[in-house]
Amino acid sequence: MTTVNLKTGDSILETNRETINPDTYFVTHTPPKSLEKNEKQVNEFVSKHAAKGSKVVLITSGGTTVPLENQTVRFIDNFSAGTRGATSAEYPFDCLIHLIPDYAVIFMHRQFSLQPYNRHFSHQSILDLLELKPDGSINVCSEYAHKMKATLTKYQEYKRKEMLLMLEFFTVNDYLFLLRSVSHALNGLTHHALYYLAAAAEHKIQSGDGAMTLKMDQVPKFLKPMVTFWAPQGYIVSFKLETDPHLLIPKSRQALIRYGHQIVIGNLLTTRKREVNLITHDSEMELKLSEEEERNGVEIESRIVNELLKRHDEWITNYSHN
Ligand code: PAZ
């Protein structure tokens, strides 16, 4: 349990390591209203790609919120803008262009967080990208035209081939229900499903205690039921965020052993955009951008996704030989 004093702004006072049992969570909590509609979309998407023999990757992205009231006026949020997820969602398709395996993407993202392709223009106002001509027509300003054309070409191709399904969540509760449903749907693809869990889901409020004090529980450890029941044949990649460099590898390894999935990607808050560690049960690999690569706009997600698609492929091959 984490207690936060809202009046003084004192932060974490007390932390309860006990978590809500994931089995009871889904019985004692209300599913989001959008769940049924989303499940229908996911089932159609997965069936279509299964029929074509494509692989599917689920990417979760962005922070999760914890509402403070039932009729939400205030909520607790976290820092994640969804950069990792939105950036990663573009690379399976880039691989496809380079004739590496065929992956469709389910992009499960926090509402209003960054989105693949659109992210390239999210720091500008849309009105500043456009200009009004004397004849009344609207053009993209010449300084953005080249980048806009390149991005739009890829984005439209993605859409034309129906390779991308976008699903939204807002609260941690929406996230958990949707994750369970999507995992169930993808389980039909057996080893051809890849799960890339980059969203940040940490705390859940247990109850209000007086006007100014909140008690929070850890989010249920959904990875355990996911690995055991929801997606037992999937290739599951989780992320571990740490602030202390000494804890990064041990904590990542601890998560891997505790949940028994395939890979934990450890990243530090301050260096996450240039450096990550891929930890498996019998290996450790550091992926790091050089200063020159950073200057040239190389994104670490291109390295992560390439490496994971390679490993997923080897994993499928191993299964088919056993
Ligand atoms: O969204 P972003 O790019 O700013 O941050 C990405 C991240 C740090 C949230 C992600 O890489 C991550 O570590 N997700 C898991 C966080 C956790 O629950 O430990």
Cβ neighbours for 80, distance < 8 A, ≥ 6 positions apart:
61, 62, 63, 110, 113, 199, 200
Q: Of all residues in the chain, what percent carry a pLDDT higher than 90? A: 74
**Is the C-beta atom of 248 inside 6 A of ligand 1?**
no
Helix orientation angle between 35-52 and 172-187, rounded to the nearest 10 degrees: 30
Residue 241 Cβ < 6 Å to ligand 1:
yes
Looking at residue 61, its pLDDT comes to: 98
What integer pLDDT is reported at residue 70 of this predicted model?
81
In the predicted model, what is the mean pLDDT of residues 183-187? 97
Yes or no: say if 198 and 64 are a contact pair by the CB < 8 Å rule.
Answer: no
CATH 3.40.50.10300 fits domain 35-116+142-198+221-233? yes
Other beta carbons within 10 Å of 290: 10
Instruction: Return the pLDDT at 142.
Output: 96
Tens-place pLDDT, residues 54-91: 999 999 999 999 888 888 888 889 899 999 999 999 99
pLDDT at residue 24 in the model: 87
Render pLDDT for 225-264 as a digit per residue (tens, 0 to 9): 999 999 999 999 999 999 999 999 999 999 999 999 999 9
Contacts of 114 (CB under 8 A, 6+ apart): 61, 62, 81, 82, 83, 85, 86, 87, 122
What's the pLDDT at 256?
96
C-alpha span between 178 and 290 (Å, rounded): 37
Instruction: Tell the residue nearest (CA) to atom 5 of ligand 1.
Output: 80
SS3 267: strand
pLDDT of residue 273: 97
Which residues is 304 bridged to in the sheet? none
pLDDT score of 277 more than 80: yes
* Half-sphere exposure (Cβ direction) of 222: Cα atoms closer than 13 Å: 24
Q: Angle at Cα 24 formed by Cα 20 and Cα 29, nearest 5°? A: 90
Residue nearest (by alpha carbon) to ligand 1 atom 10:
198
CB 106, CB 56: distance < 8 Å: yes
Tell me the average pLDDT of the chain.
88
- pLDDT confidence tier of residue 209, bands split at 50, 70 and 90: very low
Inter-CA distances, 237 with 17, 222, 242, Å? 23, 13, 16
Which ligand 1 atom is at minimum distance from the Cα of 198? 14
Is residue 114 within 6 Å of ligand 1 at its C-beta? no
Q: Is 219 in the pocket of ligand 1 (CB under 6 A)?
A: no
> How far apart are the C-alpha atoms of 45 and 211, rounded to whole Å?
46
Is the distance from the beta carbon of residue 221 to the nearest atom of ligand 1 less than 6 Å? no
Q: How confident is the model at residue 19 (pLDDT cuts 50, 70, 90)?
A: low
Residue 82, ligand 1, Cβ within 6 A: yes
- In this predicted structure, the answer to whether residue 203 has a pLDDT above a threshold of 90 is no
Q: Label residue 320 by pLDDT band (50, 70, 90).
A: confident
> pLDDT tens digit string along 95-148?
544 545 579 999 999 999 999 999 999 999 999 999 999 999 999 999 999 999
More confident call, 99 vs 170: 170
Residue 320 tokens read as 């088919």
Give the model's pLDDT for residue 148.
97
184 C-alpha to center of ligand 1: Å?
24
State in Å: Cα 318 to ligand 1 middle.
30
294-307: average pLDDT? 96
pLDDT of the residue at 2: 44
Q: Is 305 helix (H, G, I), strand (E, B) or coil?
A: helix
Query: Which residues are CB-contacts of 88 (< 8 A; sequence separation ≥ 6)?
Result: 59, 61, 196, 198, 301, 304, 305
Mean pLDDT for the stretch of residues 262-280: 98
Indicate which residue's Cα is closest to atom 1 of ligand 1: 82
Cβ of 84 less than 6 Å from ligand 1: yes
Pocket test for ligand 1, best of 123, 244, 272, 304 (most atoms within 8 A of CB): 272
Mean pLDDT of 155-174: 94
Ligand 1 centroid – CA 198 distance (Å): 5
What pLDDT shows up at residue 321?
74
Average pLDDT estimate for 256-275? 97
**pLDDT (0 to 100) of residue 81:** 96
ipTM of the complex: 0.98
Atom of ligand 1 nearest to the CA of 83: 3
Residue 173 has pLDDT above 80, yes or no: yes
